[in-house]
Amino acid sequence: MRILLLGSGGREHAFAWKISQSPLCKSLFIAPGNAGTKEFGQHFSFGVTDFEAIRACCIEHAIDMVVVGPEEPLVKGLVEYLRAEPLLKSLLIIGPGQQGAALEGSKAFAKAFMQRHGIPTASYREFTKENYQEGLAYLQAHPLPIVLKADGLAAGKGVLICNTHQEAILGFEEMIQSSKFGEAGKKVVVEEFLQGIEISVFALTDGTHYVLLPEAKDYKRIGEGDTGLNTGGMGAVSPVPFVDTILWEKIKTRVVEPTIMGLQKDGIPYCGFIFIGFMIVKGEPFVIEYNCRMGDPETEVVMPRLQSDLLKLLTAAANGELNNYTIKTDPRTACTVVAVSGGYPEDYKKGFPIQGLDQLSNAAMVFHMGTQQKGGQIITNGGRVFTVTAFGNSITEAAAAARTIQTAIQFEGKYYRRDIGFEFK
Ligand code: AMP
Ligand code: GLY
C-alpha cells in the first residue's frame, strides 16, 4: 500500500515507525513531518490544512490510504473535500468527517451528544451572547470550582478551572464579550468540576465495530508533582495500574459502546480514532472530552505496546471489518518522557542544535516532536522537542530507563519532568 501520513508531531513519528513495520506498507509519504519521520519515507512540505495540495498529492502519488494525525483538518472538513474528488473514489481515509470531528471541535456538540445518549459526564449548561445575563446569574450560584470551556478548537487553551466566582465571571466575560478565544469562545460550556484521576482511552472504529487500544495516562502540567501551567503533555505511561477489569468493563459498556451506537443513531459515519479523556471518580468513569484523533504523547506509549500490525488494523477499519480483529498488546509497561524548550508552554526560542541523537542505539525509542533537519544538523523547532519511550516491568523501571536515555540527548535550555509516573511508584 501507498500511505500518506499527515502531521508533524511525536504522534506522527510513532505512527510512521509503526506503519513502516507492516509488510503491507510499500511506500510511506509524510507531510509535513519532522526530522525524525525522515527515515520512514518521502516528505512533502505542504501543511495539514492545505486541502488542495493533499488532494493533488493523493492523485499524483496514487495514494491508497491517508492517515490524518491532528484534529484541525478533520474539523475543517478534509474528509468531505477528498470524498468529493471523483479520481479518489477508492481512497481509504483514517479520520472522521466534519460531523464526527465535531465531538472534538465543539464542546457544546459533545456535551449534547453525551446527554442524548446517556453517557456519563459532568453536568453542564451552555451560554452565548444571547443568554449572557442568565449565564452570569448561573455562575454566581454555581458551587466552586467552576469549569469554563470555550466551545471550539482553542489549541488546548480553552478550558478554565476557576476557584472563585470573580475569576469565573471574568473568564466568562473574556470569552463571550471580548472574544478572547475568537469564534471558539463565543459559546461557553459551564460545567461541574469532577475530582478524580484522569486517564486516556483510545478506540479505533469503523463506525459500527471497534477495538480498544491500551489505555494511558498523560502528565499535562509543566512542573514536577503536577504543578504549574498546562502543556500539550509532558509524558505518559501505559498501562495505568488502577485500571482493572471491572473499570475497563464500565468504560466499555457505559461509554465506548454507547458512543459508537450514538454515532450510528445520529447517522454520523466515523472511521478513525476516538480518544476519550476520562475522569475516574471513586471508581466510576466520566467523560471529560472526546478527541477525533490519537493523543500526543500517549501515542508514543500506545504504539510501542501494540503488537498487532497497525496498517492491517487501519485497513480493516477503513473497510468496515474491525469485527474480525482482536489486538495483541505487550504486557510490559511503557513510559515516555518529553523534553521541551526552556520557557515552554510560554515563550521559548527555537533553532538550537540537538546533540547525542546519532550515538543512540537503534533500540532506543526516540520520537521527534518539534525538530527540523537543517544541513547536517537536527535543530529544535517547537515547544515540545522530542520524547523518549522505554519499557520496564514496572512504571519505576520504565521511567528510569526513559530518563537514562533522556540524559544522553542535549540542547540549550532543555527541560523535562523527572517524575513521570510518580504517583504509581
Ligand atoms: P479538555 O480540554 O476538555 O481536556 O480540558 C483540559 C483539562 O481540564 C482536562 O485535562 C482536565 O484536567 C481539566 N478538566 C476539564 N473538564 C473538567 C471537569 N469537568 N472537572 C475537572 N477537571 C476538568
Ligand atoms: N495529550 C493530550 C492530547 O493529545 O490531547
Tens-digit pLDDT profile for residues 363-373: 789 999 999 99
Question: Which protein residue has the closest C-alpha to ligand 1 atom 16?
Answer: 288
Cβ atoms < 10 Å from Cβ of 118: 9
| Ligand 1 atom 9, closest CA | 288
Residue 126, ligand 2, Cβ within 6 A: no
Residue nearest to atom 4 of ligand 1 (CA): 289
In 135-234, DSSP assigns E strands to: 146-150, 159-162, 188-192, 197-205, 210-212, 217-218, 221-223, 227-230
Digit-by-digit pLDDT tens for the chain (425 residues) are 999 999 999 999 999 999 999 999 999 999 999 999 999 999 999 999 999 999 999 999 999 999 999 999 999 999 999 999 999 999 999 999 999 999 999 999 999 999 999 999 999 999 998 899 999 999 999 999 999 998 888 766 788 999 999 999 999 998 887 766 666 557 899 999 999 999 999 999 999 999 999 999 999 999 999 999 989 999 999 999 999 999 999 999 999 999 999 999 999 999 999 999 999 999 999 999 999 999 999 999 999 999 999 999 999 999 999 998 899 999 999 999 999 999 999 999 999 999 999 888 777 899 999 999 998 899 999 999 999 999 999 999 999 999 999 999 999 999 999 999 999 97
Q: Which residue has the cell 492517515?
A: 67
> Best mutation site among 275, 278, 288, 417 for ligand 2, i.e. most ligand atoms within 8 A of its Cβ?
275
What are the tens digits of pLDDT across the range 262-291?
999 999 999 999 999 999 999 999 999 999
The reply to whether domains 2-98 and 123-192 share a CATH topology is no
Beta carbons of 216 and 333 less than 8 angstroms apart = no
| CA 271 to centroid of ligand 2, rounded, Å | 19
Per 3-state DSSP, what percentage of the chain is helix, strand, and coil (rounded to 5)?
30, 30, 40
Ligand number nearest to the C-alpha of 111: 1
Helix (H) or strand (E) holding 340: strand 333-340
Architecture per CATH, domain 123-192, reads as 2-Layer Sandwich (3.30)
Query: Ligand 1 mean position to 212 CA, how many Å?
Result: 22
Query: Considering only CA atoms, which of 69, 79, 96 is closest in space to residue 297?
Result: 69
* Atom in ligand 1 nearest the alpha carbon of residue 289: 3
Which residue has its alpha carbon closest to ligand 2 atom 3? 295
Q: Say yes or no: CB of residue 147 within 6 Å of ligand 1.
A: yes
User: CATH classification of 2-98, choosing from 3.40.50.20, 2.40.37.10, 3.40.50.300, 3.40.190.80?
Assistant: 3.40.50.20
Q: What is the pLDDT of residue 182?
A: 65
Q: Evaluate: CB of 71 within 6 angstroms of ligand 2.
A: no
The Cα–Cα gap between 185 and 122 comes to: 19
User: Ligand 2, from 149, 291, 293, 337: best to mutate by most atoms within 8 Å of Cβ?
Assistant: 291
What integer pLDDT is reported at residue 359 of this predicted model? 83
Please tell me whether residue 122 adopts helix, strand or coil conformation.
Answer: coil
148 pocket-lining for ligand 1 (C-beta < 6 Å): no
Per-domain residue ranges for the chain? 2-98, 123-192
Q: Which of 61, 112, 70, 69 is nearest to 91 (CA)?
A: 61
The amino acid sitting at 144 is L
Q: Which of 281, 381, 289, 300 is nearest to 338 (CA)?
A: 300
pLDDT at 185: 58
For ligand 2, mutation pick of 215, 298, 299 (most atoms within 8 Å of CB): 298
| CA torsion through residues 85, 89, 90, 93, sign | positive
Q: Whole-angstrom Cα distance, residue 118 to residue 100?
A: 18
